[in-house]
Structures are given as C-alpha cells and as structure tokens.
Amino acid sequence: MSAQPLSPIRKAWYQWKALRLPWRKRFFVGLDLQNNSFWEFRDAITAGRMRRIVQTPSSIQYSDVKISPQWHQWLRHTREDAPSIEELVGDLARQERLKVLARQADERWNAKASFLDQPATRQQALPATQFRDGGAYTGTDPRGDGKGVANAVASEAGKAEERLATTDKPASGELQYDAATQPREEKKYKDDPWKKARGGPSEEWQPQAWDPNDMPAARR
C-alpha cells in the first residue's frame, strides 16, 4: 500500500521523533499510505493548542500529493486521535467493494430489455381521458339508457330548478316589491335638518365679477 517501504533506520528515526520529551517542541504523529508524515508542534501564539502540519517526500510533486479524508480530519482538529494504517487500509478495501457493487448494478441494468426496443405491434395504453367503465361518461351527449355522468348532472340541475320555482312564489296575501314596475317612494321630511346647521356670516357670500374699470389708482 505504501509508495516505498521505509528503511529500518528511517523507522527508528520516526520512533525517536515521536517521543514527547519536555524540551522538544515538535513531535512526530504518524504516516499515511503515501509516506506523508504528520507532525504536531507548539506555537507561542496558540499555547493551549498544538498546531498540525503534513510533510511530503521530496521525490513527490505537490500536484501529486493526496491526503486521505481521515488525515484531513486530524489536520483540521475535527478528530482527536490520528488514524492508523489499519484504518486507512480498511477504507481502501471499502472503496474497492463499492466499485465492484456499482459495476454489478450497472451490468444488471444493462441486461434488462429496454422499452424502446420492444416491437411496435404491442398495444399502447389508452389515454387517461378514455374509460372502459360502462357507468362513465365518454362523450358530450347524455346516454340513452339514463346512466352516466351527464344524465346524473342533468337530473340534479332539474331538481334544483324545481326547488327554486317553488320557493320563489309568494305566499297568499303577501305583497312583493318589484323594482322595475314599482319605484320606491322617497321619504319626505317636513323640516330639513341641515337648515339648522346653516346661518354663518359667510354662508351666502358670493364673489363679485371682475370689472376692469374698478382698478386702484396708480401710485405716482
């Protein structure tokens, strides 16, 4: 899984750097499957929180560097413990299983016959506006046997007209008002109530017409 196996000297050096000695400011944390090393170090600005970085091998270009999601979580302080090699290997195996299952699902889907490839002699389904039920209404005219939606609607409309005709007839001895033939008489008041509110000094004042001769004398 690793890009290159580590030499025994390199492994011993990483183990020495992983020891958290009191005078040491930088500590080795772990490696990933591409031999990228991850470190923690103390910072004077953030004394209560260790800073985390990654160092890539010098033989790998920066564009080819790939960091696993588990190490990304550790670098961003979203997980406390660093991922192990076993966890990274298990995640790769899970991804391979997902690829196999996806390929098998695609093969099963492609093995099924397409609806477009079926022969044209097959009877097409009727539209939703056409019904085979004898009690349904499929035309614009009522049916002759008295069934169907149109006949039911017509019978209900006839019953409603009969009820309106019986309720609109006036009772015996009752007088009805017809606005077309009998205009309603307006009520006449003996005394105009608005006359009592009138009588101000300027109530009947009207402006006079303009007279060109009635001009004030010009000042000299």
For 36-49, what is each residue's pLDDT tens digit? 999 999 887 777 78
| Pairwise CA distance, residues 159 & 151, whole Å | 12
Across the range 21-45, mean pLDDT stands at 89
Does residue 17 or residue 153 have the better pLDDT? 17
| pLDDT higher than 60, residue 87 | yes
SS3 for 155-203 is HHHHHHHHHHHHHHCCCCCCCCCCCCCCCCCCCCCCCCCCCCCCCCCCC
Across the range 130-141, mean pLDDT stands at 52
Q: What is the pLDDT of residue 163?
A: 77
| pLDDT higher than 50, residue 1 | no
Q: What is the pTM of this model?
A: 0.48
Q: What is the pLDDT of residue 96?
A: 95
Question: Tens digit of pLDDT for each residue in 159-190?
Answer: 777 777 776 555 555 555 555 555 555 555 56
Least confidently predicted of 17-31, 113-127, 150-164: 113-127
| pLDDT higher than 50, residue 59 | yes
Question: Tens digit of pLDDT for each residue in 184-216?
Answer: 555 555 666 666 666 666 777 888 888 888 777
Q: Among residues 50, 28, 48, which one has the least CA distance to residue 37?
A: 28
Question: Tens digit of pLDDT for each residue in 95-108?
Answer: 999 999 999 999 99
| Pairwise CA distance, residues 195 & 197, whole Å | 5
| Pairwise CA distance, residues 82 & 216, whole Å | 107
Angle at 59 between CA 58 and CA 64, to 5 degrees: 100
User: Contacts from 13-20 at CB under 8 Å and sequence distance 24+?
Assistant: none
Cβ atoms within 10 A of the Cβ of 32, count?
21
Q: What is the pLDDT of residue 195?
A: 65
